[in-house]
């Protein structure tokens, strides 16, 4: 790991940048007019050739949104967002309806190569299918054929609206209702693309599914929508990765992810989020205001969230599980790293509705520089949830004296048979640990990366193998400049 | 190999070492003995480069180079090794992972090629067997939940793995029972080599029954107050530090 950290640092140094994904690809864009109105919503819907029911759904969301207030309860601070001064839709010109990668703009593919996404035949070896979302449009989906064989649907959201309207209608908005919260409602009105996955009964998805999100255009919000449905007895593992170019203005990212597991189905959802965090002085960076929720609708079903959050100026995100089915299981494994002026307010909600439901929360927060890192979590046991169990562990690691770690656990239990455990620790990287590592030959930053990776180990272990290495490197890079 | 001249070191503004002189040649084993608070651990930390141990005056020359000017990791790469009195726990990092990272960091710093996981594993296993360091210890998080003896054995395993030119052992005998002490001493003796210098810091004469030094220095009040051959240890044991310090004054 340490050698990997060094290698990555060299790469970063060679690029002359701390944030190596901060490049901009020069591609002609089609944009919706600036600002947000019913016309914007209609423009987006028309641009995507959507059926009327989809447009109506969006408009209903928009009408609701204009009556809503932006939430202010999170421990994050930012200037007021002017929603009328942003673009809500940007698409690379001439991209729709690509049949194969050969038809994709070579510049776009070059971007993906820079990002290190192997969007080509090498992917077969890794066994990963990628749906890449560039700004608002999904440009290429690999490995459709192999997935088709298994009956798995994995396609851009816009395509699902067209080709699988019955499934989309049945599940869209059933986990995160249109009216859920300010940002989710905004997303419902203007979402541009995203990913749709359906795994049929009894099917174990033959490969890891992966989506890569990137914000490229300036002043553009990204609002992708992900819907994953695992039918009875099926299994799927899904990973999303995110980057964005360096820009001095703040950009809004307000995604919605909905997961549904039917009886005995399982979804494992992993995120490696590395949106541009802003510079050392807190200028620029992504506002990552995301609603992610899973519904364990069937008995004995399971949803597991794993997230590595290293980027974004502000993270506001609570991947949650509704444990509706009896004996269903929800898990949340999180690493949140905040350096410089980053602010993270993240955690989970575990809503126990069914009998014998179990949840497990492991949260590792690392704060450095002048960053503020908050774990906010809710464990709620409803009256009918006999024998519900929860275990929560929140560990915070502080580096230096100017950052903050906060733990805000909410626990509600309406059933006396519930067992809820909460453990929390806060620690600092000790001087003697650093000295010990250095005295054995490790440089200061390498030592920090090693110690922090050790601190995060329980969560890193949850990631799919091929992404765990990448995540370990990211942990090291994110904390550069935090010692000395 | 190591030449310390008129060394003054302060910690938190308080002067601990007050004009220490010491010279060790390659192939020799020297012992530093002294009462509590005499500056023994300060000497070991300042040689390894711990932050907060400030050299106010004097010099530390290692193979002709100003050692005090180097950060700790550079000293390690150049062959300085400190077996610590209180080895530190690092949760979540397996011992094996730590050994591999440290070894390769040193090799990289010296411009040598890195060893792959299998290469490191083989070397470590071979050396671990000799020191009775179990496979289980290598898989556990570094020093976490290790007994005192296990920690000290792991320090010697690292010394054996890194093959330093100058090895400093700070109270390696503390907290060890007699069997563990013998095992550790055997490990140290196996590393005695004409190209390697060792500085054994200890409070008690006991360790020197097993690791027999070429030269003994008595440290008191931040200075070397007496020096002699291995027989000095016995004299210390008989008379006690107070008497030796008085005799020297």
B51, B87, B93: residue with CB nearest A431: B51
Which tokens belong to A109?
A: 């593919």
Partner residue facing A442 (CB), from B52, B88, B102: B102
What is the distance between the alpha carbons of residues A225 and A293, in angstroms, rounded to a whole number?
12
How many residues appear in chain A?
484
Candidate from A3, A436, A457 with C-beta closest to B104:
A3
- CA distances in angstroms from B201 to B35, B36, B49, B172, listed in the order given: 11, 12, 17, 8
CA A392 from chain centre, in angstroms, equals 21
Please name which of A400, A472, A483 lies closest in space to residue A448, comparing C-alpha atoms.
A483
Q: Which of A435, A436, A442 sits opposite B51 (nearest CB)?
A: A435
Kindly indicate the confidence band of residue A436, based on its pLDDT and cuts at 50, 70 and 90.
Answer: very high
The per-residue pLDDT for range A228-241, each reduced to its tens digit, is 999 999 999 998 87
| Minimal-distance CA residue of chain A relative to B159 | A440
At A423, the pLDDT band (50, 70, 90 cuts) reads: very high
Cβ neighbours of A436 in B, within 8 Å: 84, 87-88, 90
User: Which residues in chain B have Cβ-Cβ distances shorter than 8 Å to A3?
Assistant: 101, 104-105, 108, 114
- Given a cut of 50, is residue A440 above it in pLDDT? yes
Distance in angstroms (rounded) separating the CA atoms of residues B48 and A92: 57
The C-alpha angle with vertex B113 and arms to B61 and B161, in degrees rounded to 5, equals 60
Q: Do B51 and A458 touch (CB under 8 A)?
A: no
Q: Is the pLDDT of residue A325 over 80?
A: yes
Do residues A327 and A292 make contact, with C-beta atoms less than 8 angstroms apart? no
Task: Tell me the two tokens of residue A57.
Answer: 């759904």
CB contact under 8 A, B90 and A430: no
**pTM attached to this predicted model:** 0.81
CA pair distance B175, A79, nearest whole angstrom: 58
What does the alpha-carbon distance between residue B18 and residue B9 come to, in Å, rounded to a whole number?
Answer: 7
Q: Closest CB to A439: pick one of B48, B86, B141.
A: B48
- Complex prediction ipTM: 0.96
Q: What is the DSSP string of A19-37?
A: STT-------EEEPPSS-S
Chain A residues touching residue B87 (CB < 8 angstroms) = 436
CB contact under 8 A, A439 and B72: yes
CA dist A61 and A53 (Å) reads: 12
| Domain spans in chain B, listed from the N-terminal domain onward | 2-248
Verify whether the Cβ–Cβ distance B77 to A441 is below 8 Å: yes
Task: Inform me whether the pLDDT recorded for B204 exceeds 80.
Answer: yes
> Radius of gyration (Cα) for chain A, nearest Å?
21
Summarize the confidence of residues A469-475 as an average pLDDT. Answer: 78
The whole-number pLDDT of residue A280 equals: 76
Q: Let me know if residue A411 belongs to a domain.
A: no
Q: Which of B97, B106, B114 sits opposite A441 (nearest CB)?
A: B106
CB neighbourhood size of A391 (10 A): 15
Tokens of residue A428, six digits: 């600092």
* Cα A404 from Cα A338, distance rounded (Å): 10
Question: Taking 60 as the threshold, does the pLDDT of residue A220 lie above it?
Answer: no
User: Distance between terminal CA atoms of chain B?
Assistant: 29
Nearest CA in chain B to A484: B51
Instruction: Say whether B49 and A436 touch across the interface (CB within 8 A).
Output: no
Range of weakest confidence among A254-258, A459-463, B9-13: A459-463
Q: According to the model, what pLDDT value does residue A16 have?
A: 36
Residue A167 lies in a domain: yes
> Could you tell me whether strands B2-11 and B14-24 are parallel, antiparallel, or unpaired per DSSP bridges?
antiparallel
Least confident range of A114-123, A181-190, A205-214, B22-31: A114-123
Q: Do A440 and B108 touch (CB under 8 A)?
A: no
How large is the average pLDDT for residues A366-381? 91
Residue A98 in domain: yes
Across the interface, whether the CB atoms of B162 and A437 are under 8 A apart is answered no
Most A-contacting residue of B41, B77, B88 (CB-CB within 10 A), to test interface: B88
| pLDDT of A211 | 73
Residue A424 lies in a domain: no
Give counts: helices (H), strands (E), chain B: 10, 12
Q: Which residue of B has its CA nearest to A5?
A: B101
Q: Which residue has the higher pLDDT, A228 or A147?
A: A228
Pairing of strands B166-170, B141-142: unpaired
**Residue A377: inside a domain:** no
For B2-248, CATH number out of 3.40.140.10, 3.40.50.300, 3.30.1360.80, 3.10.20.30 equals: 3.40.50.300
Which residues of B have a CB under 8 Å from any CB of A? 48-52, 71-73, 75-77, 82, 84, 86-93, 97-98, 101-106, 108-109, 114, 141, 158, 162
Structural domain count of chain A: 1
* b/e per residue B65-91 (b: at least 16 CB within 10 A): eebbebebbbbbbbbbbbbbbebbbbb
Q: Which chain B residues have a beta carbon less than 8 Å from that of A450? A: 90, 93, 98, 101
In angstroms, rounded to a whole number, what is the distance separating the alpha carbons of residues B146 and A368? 30
Find tokens 């170019």 and name the residue: A245
Contact yes or no for B102 and A456 at CB 8 A: no
CB contact under 8 A, B90 and A437: yes
pLDDT of residue A353: 97
Least confident of A98-112, A207-221, A248-262, A377-391: A98-112
Cα–Cα distance for residue pair B137/B108, rounded to 1 Å: 26
Q: How far apart are CA B181 and CA B174, in angstroms?
A: 9
- State residue A13's pLDDT score: 35
Name the least confident of A214-218, A309-313, A324-328, B238-242: A214-218
CB atoms within 10 A of CB B4: 21
Mean of pLDDT values over A154-172 = 92
Residue A84 DSSP class = G
Tally C-beta pairs within 8 A across A and B: 90
Put simply, the answer to whether A438 touches B76 (Cβ < 8 Å) is yes
Which positions in chain A touch B93 (Cβ < 8 Å)?
450-451, 453-454, 457
pLDDT at position A214 over 60: no
Chain B interface, best mutation among A6, A364, A435, A439, by max B CB count within 10 A? A439
DSSP string for A153-192: EEEEHHHHHHH-HHHHHHHTTSSS-TTS-HHHHHHHHH--
- CB contact A455 to B (< 8 Å): yes
Q: Which domain holds residue A349?
A: 2-367+430-478
Nearest chain A residue to B95 by CA: give it.
Answer: A454
The rounded Cα A291 to chain-centroid distance in angstroms is: 9
Strands A404-413 and A372-381 come out as parallel
Pick the range with the lowest mean pLDDT from A47-61, A109-123, A388-402, B107-121: A109-123
CA A128 – CA A394 distance, rounded (Å): 32
Structure tokens that stand for A294 in this block: 């899973």
Query: What is the dihedral angle through the alpha carbons of B60, B61, B62, B66, rounded to the nearest 10 degrees?
Result: 90
pLDDT of residue A382: 97
In B, minimum Cα distance to A451 occurs at: B90
Q: Which residues contact B83 (CB under 8 A, 6 or more apart)?
A: B152, B155, B156, B158, B159, B167, B168, B169, B170, B172
Whole-angstrom Cα Rg for chain B: 18
Residues 422-441 of A with CB under 8 A from B: 430-433, 435-441
- Within a domain: residue A203? yes
Identify the H or E element spanning B106. helix B95-109
Calculate the average pLDDT of chain A.
81
Asked whether the beta carbons of B226 and B248 are under 8 A apart, the reply is yes
Residue among B52, B77, B97 whose CB faces A1 most closely: B97
Q: Are strands B90-94 and B80-83 parallel, antiparallel or unpaired?
A: unpaired
A406 in a structural domain: no
Contact B227, B215 (CB under 8 A): yes
Measured between alpha carbons, how far is B129 from B120 in angstroms, rounded to an integer? 14
Which structure tokens are listed for A72? 């202010």
Tell me how far apart the alpha carbons of residues A316 and A309 are, in angstroms, rounded to a whole number. Answer: 11
Nearest by CB to A457, which of B52, B82, B92?
B92
Q: What is the mean pLDDT of chain B?
A: 93
Of A13-17, A70-74, A99-103, A217-221, the least confident? A13-17
**How far B249 CA sits from the closest chain A CA (Å)?**
36
Q: Which residue in this structure is represented by tokens 């202010």? A: A72
Angle of CA points A240, A243, A244, to nearest 5°: 145
Which of A238-242, A295-299, A424-428 has the weakest average pLDDT? A238-242
Q: Place A245 in a pLDDT band, splitting at 50, 70 and 90.
A: low
Which residues, including other chains, have CB under 8 Å from residue A82's CB and lie 6 or more apart?
none
pLDDT score of A10: 37
CA A428, A361, A409, A316 torsion-angle sign: positive
Chain A nearest CA to B186, separation (Å): 22
Q: Across the interface, do B108 and A6 touch by the CB < 8 Å criterion?
A: yes
């Amino acid at each position: 790991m340490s050698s990997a950290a060094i290698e990555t640092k060299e790469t970063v140094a060679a690029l002359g940048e701390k944030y190596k994904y901060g490049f901009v690809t020069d591609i002609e864009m089609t944009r919706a007019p600036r600002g947000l109105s019913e016309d914007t919503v209609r423009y987006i819907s028309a641009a995507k050739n959507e059926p009327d029911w989809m447009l109506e759904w969006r408009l209903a969301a928009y009408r609701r949104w204009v009556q809503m207030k932006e939430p202010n309860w999170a421990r994050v601070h930012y200037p007021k967002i002017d929603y009328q001064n942003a673009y809500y839709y940007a698409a690379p010109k001439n991209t729709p309806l690509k049949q194969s990668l050969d038809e994709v703009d070579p510049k776009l593919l070059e971007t993906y190569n820079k990002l290190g996404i192997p969007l080509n035949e090498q992917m077969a070896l890794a066994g990963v299918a990628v749906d890449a979302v560039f700004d608002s449009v999904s440009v290429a989906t690999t490995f459709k054929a192999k997935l088709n064989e298994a009956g798995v649907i994995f396609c851009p959201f816009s395509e699902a609206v067209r080709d699988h309207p019955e499934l989309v209608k049945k599940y869209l908005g059933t986990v995160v209702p249109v009216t859920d919260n300010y940002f989710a409602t905004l997303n419902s009105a203007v979402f541009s693309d995203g990913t749709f996955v359906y795994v049929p009964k009894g099917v174990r998805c033959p490969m890891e599914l992966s989506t890569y999100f990137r914000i490229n255009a300036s002043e553009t919000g990204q609002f992708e929508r992900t819907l994953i449905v695992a039918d009875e007895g099926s299994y799927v593992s899904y990973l999303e990765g995110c980057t964005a170019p360096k820009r001095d203005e703040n950009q809004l990212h307000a995604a919605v992810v909905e997961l549904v597991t039917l009886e005995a189905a399982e979804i494992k959802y992993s995120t490696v989020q590395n949106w541009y965090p802003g510079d050392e002085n807190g200028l620029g960076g992504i506002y990552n205001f995301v609603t992610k929720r899973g519904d364990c609708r069937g008995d004995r079903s399971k949803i597991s969230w794993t997230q590595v959050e290293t980027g974004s100026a502000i993270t506001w995100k609570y991947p949650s599980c509704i444990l509706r089915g009896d004996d269903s299981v929800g898990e949340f494994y999180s690493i949140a790293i905040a350096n410089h002026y980053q602010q993270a307010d993240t955690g989970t909600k575990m809503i126990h509705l069914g009998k014998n439901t179990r949840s497990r929360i492991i949260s590792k927060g690392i704060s450095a520089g002048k960053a503020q890192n908050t774990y906010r979590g809710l464990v709620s046991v409803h009256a009918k949830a006999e024998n519900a169990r929860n275990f929560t562990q929140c560990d915070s690691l502080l580096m230096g004296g100017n950052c903050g770690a906060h733990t805000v656990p909410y626990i509600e239990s309406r059933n006396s048979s519930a067992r809820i455990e909460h453990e929390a620790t806060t620690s600092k990287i000790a001087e003697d640990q650093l000295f010990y590592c250095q005295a054995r030959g490790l440089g200061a930053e390498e030592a920090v990366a090693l110690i922090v990776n050790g601190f995060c180990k329980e969560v890193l272990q949850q990631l799919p193998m091929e992404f765990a290495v990448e995540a370990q490197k990211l942990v090291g890079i994110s904390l550069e400049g935090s010692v000395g | 190999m190591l030449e310390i001249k008129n060394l003054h070191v302060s910690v938190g503004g308080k002067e601990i070492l007050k004009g220490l002189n010491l010279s060790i040649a390659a192939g020799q084993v020297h012992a530093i003995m002294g009462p509590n608070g005499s500056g023994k651990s300060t000497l070991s930390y300042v040689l390894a480069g711990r932050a907060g141990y400030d050299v106010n005056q004097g010099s530390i020359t290692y193979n002709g180079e100003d050692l005090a000017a180097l950060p700790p990791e550079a000293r390690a790469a150049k062959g300085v090794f400190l077996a610590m009195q209180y080895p530190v726990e690092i949760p979540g990092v397996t011992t094996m992972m730590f050994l591999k990272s440290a070894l390769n960091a040193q090799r990289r710093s010296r411009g040598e090629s890195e060893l792959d996981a299998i290469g490191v594993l083989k070397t470590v296993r071979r050396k671990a067997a000799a020191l009775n360091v179990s496979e289980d210890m290598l898989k556990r998080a570094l020093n976490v939940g290790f007994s005192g003896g296990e920690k000290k054995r792991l320090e010697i395993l690292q010394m054996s793995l890194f093959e330093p030119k100058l090895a400093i052992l700070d109270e390696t005998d503390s907290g060890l029972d007699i069997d563990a002490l013998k095992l550790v001493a055997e490990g140290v003796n196996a590393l005695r080599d004409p190209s390697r210098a060792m500085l054994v810091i200890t409070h008690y004469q006991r360790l020197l029954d097993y690791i027999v030094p070429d030269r003994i220095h008595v440290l008191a009040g931040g200075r070397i107050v007496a020096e002699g051959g291995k027989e000095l240890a016995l004299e210390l044991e008989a008379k006690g530090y107070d008497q030796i310090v008085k005799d020297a004054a």
